[in-house]
């Protein structure tokens, strides 16, 4: 970032801290697209990236009074975007894991209790620890009885 840009950002932050509400839209105009791009780089979902950027603005506005060096706004704000993007990614992965876990539990509950059922439950737990792509292949082959050719066609 150029020294001039840092000075402009610093002046806008100081204006906002002094009570000038017109400085905030200027900061948003200068930074929002970068926030969205940074968030997208991490979450790989355009809508999620926009939500993260919007959430970051709420945090930035709430905490801008605590920013001691106004010229460091860019780095400070991008750290917030990075942190919130990672948090969003973790939440998304946790939700996905919970959905997979719920689906596995429901498919196993319908069977009567037997050694085979216990073995299937242990297998389902082991499968959940694998990467998502490998989980799909194993489920298709062992649980849905797809052939390897069918799986290859299905997953390209």
DSSP characters for 95-151? HHHHHHHHHHHHHHHTSPPSHHHHHHHHHHHHHHTS-HHHHHHHIIIIIS---HHHH
- Record the pTM: 0.63
Distance separating alpha carbons of residues 45 and 98, to the nearest angstrom: 20
Across 121-130, average pLDDT: 79
Are residues 64 and 21 in contact, defined by beta-carbon separation less than 8 angstroms? no
In this model, does residue 138 exceed pLDDT 70? yes
**pLDDT confidence band for 110 (50 / 70 / 90):** low
Q: What is the pLDDT of residues 40-72, one digit of tens each?
A: 999 999 999 999 999 999 999 999 999 999 999
């Amino acid at each position: 970032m150029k020294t001039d840009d840092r000075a402009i950002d610093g002046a806008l932050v100081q204006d906002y801290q002094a009570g000038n509400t017109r400085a905030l839209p200027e900061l948003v105009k200068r930074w929002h697209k970068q926030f969205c791009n940074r968030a997208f780089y991490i979450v790989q979902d355009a809508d999620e990236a926009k939500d993260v950027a919007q959430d970051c603005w709420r945090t930035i506005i709430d905490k801008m009074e605590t920013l001691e060096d106004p010229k460091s706004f860019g780095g400070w704000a991008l750290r917030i975007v990075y942190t919130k993007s990672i948090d969003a990614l973790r939440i998304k992965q946790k939700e996905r894991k919970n959905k997979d876990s719920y689906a596995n539990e429901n498919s196993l509950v319908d069977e009567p209790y037997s050694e085979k059922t216990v073995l299937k439950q242990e297998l389902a737990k082991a499968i959940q620890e694998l990467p998502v792509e490998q989980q799909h292949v194993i489920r298709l082959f062992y649980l849905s009885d797809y052939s390897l050719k069918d799986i290859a066609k299905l997953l390209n």
